Every structure is written in structure tokens, then in C-alpha cells.
């Protein structure tokens, strides 16, 4: 089966995630194996432990072995700030701290995409 990674760039992409992608993955009817999801800009807020969608997504990602990522320093810090977690912040493009959100889910940074996916690399990447 082909593998895909989603990159969420817009609010409408998050809407598709909530109303289409998550329910299809939960029902095993998505038609393609999702191996990763990356959240850019303000979209990273769905990864907060305070978000119902975030909790649902965390459970699904653990169950289906889907790697979660945030795009860059600003998004990482916003997500951490939402959950008031203390982590070592990324200070240069070569540094990235993996953080824990979503009830224990570990989230990497976008520059670590291929290392985080390992041998589970996508055949396709779709941005929404």
C-alpha cells in the first residue's frame, strides 16, 4: 500500500483533518497509509492537550504509527506555551528539541522529517 504524509498549512486543511481524514483513518477507509502529519503556523495548536482533536489525534497516531511534527521554532514554542511545558527551545536551524504533547505523544520538528520517519517514508506528500 502506498504511504502518504500530510502537511497542514491552512485552517481549511485542519477542517479536512477533523471532518474527513481522522474519521476515515479511524474507520480504516482512508485508502492510503498515513505515515506522518506536519502542522505549520497556527495549525500546531491542534496538538495541545487542551484540544479534543489533539487528544483524538494522539490516540490515533499511537495506534497507527503516524509521526506527528510541527514546522518550526515558532510553532513549537506556541504549542509548548499552550501546554505550559518547559523544554529546551531550538535556537538555530540545526537544533531541534523533541517535545511531548498530546498526553505523552512525542512531536518532532519539520527539519527532522526524514530522520523521524526512518524507513517509513511517504510515497506522496500532500499539503492542505
Report how far apart, in Å, the C-alpha atoms of 99 and of each of 26, 43, 44, 81, 88 are. Answer: 25, 16, 13, 11, 9
The band of 76, judged by pLDDT with boundaries at 50, 70 and 90, is: very low
Q: Give the ranges where 29-87 is alpha helix by DSSP (H).
A: 52-64, 73-83
Return phi, psi of residue 37, to 5°.
Answer: -140, 130
Interval 108-113 mean pLDDT: 65
Residue 50 belongs to domain with CATH number: 3.40.1260
Q: How many domains does the chain have?
A: 1
Q: pLDDT tens, 4-59?
A: 999 998 889 999 999 999 999 999 999 999 998 888 777 777 877 677 888 888 88
What does the chain come to in residues?
A: 128
Percentage of the chain with pLDDT > 90? Answer: 29
Structural domain span for residue 62: 3-127
Query: In this predicted structure, what is the pLDDT of residue 102?
Result: 55
Amino acid at each position: 500500500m502506498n504511504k502518504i504524509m500530510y502537511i497542514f498549512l491552512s485552517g481549511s486543511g485542519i477542517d479536512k483533518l477533523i471532518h474527513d481524514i481522522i474519521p476515515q483513518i479511524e474507520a480504516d477507509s482512508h485508502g492510503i497509509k498515513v505515515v506522518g502529519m506536519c502542522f505549520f503556523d497556527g495549525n500546531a495548536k491542534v496538538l495541545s492537550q487542551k484540544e479534543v482533536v489533539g487528544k483524538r489525534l494522539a490516540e490515533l497516531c499511537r495506534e497507527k504509527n503516524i509521526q506527528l511534527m510541527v514546522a518550526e521554532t515558532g510553532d513549537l514554542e506556541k504549542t509548548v506555551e499552550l501546554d505550559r511545558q518547559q523544554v529546551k527551545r531550538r535556537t538555530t536551524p540545526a537544533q531541534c528539541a523533541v517535545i511531548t504533547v498530546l498526553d505523552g505523544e512525542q512531536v518532532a520538528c519539520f527539519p527532522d522529517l526524514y530522520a523521524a520517519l526512518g524507513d517509513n517514508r511517504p510515497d506522496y506528500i500532500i499539503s492542505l
